[in-house]
Amino acid sequence: MTFGTPNSQGIYGEAENLLKQALDIYERSLGVNHPRTVTCREDLADLRDRLNSQQ
């Protein structure tokens, strides 16, 4: 997943919530080691890194 350059942290916050929901669904339906689950977890980590670097 590639992130653009949003003008406000609100967009990142919304994206974080959606990724957390997706991760929960993937973990329950596909398992924790499924490639889609792993990718989603990595996307969430990348987003959190971006949030932390903005502070």
Q: Residue 16 domain-assigned?
A: yes
Residue-wise pLDDT tens digits, 10-39: 788 899 999 999 999 999 999 999 999 999
Query: 17 lies in a domain?
Result: yes
Q: Is the pTM of this model over 0.75?
A: yes
Tokens coding 16 = 């974080």
Q: Residues 52, 27: contact at Cβ < 8 Å?
A: no
Within a domain: 32: yes
- Is 1 within a domain? no
User: Is 3 among the domain residues?
Assistant: no
Residue 16's domain comprises: 10-54
Structure tokens belonging to residue 14: 């919304």
Structural domain contains residue 5:
no
- Eight-class DSSP state of 6: -
- What 2-9 contacts at long range (C-beta under 8 Å, 24+ apart), as own/partner pairs, is 3/46, 3/47, 3/50, 9/51, 9/54
Total structural domains within the chain:
1
How confident is residue 45, by pLDDT bands cut at 50, 70 and 90? Answer: very high
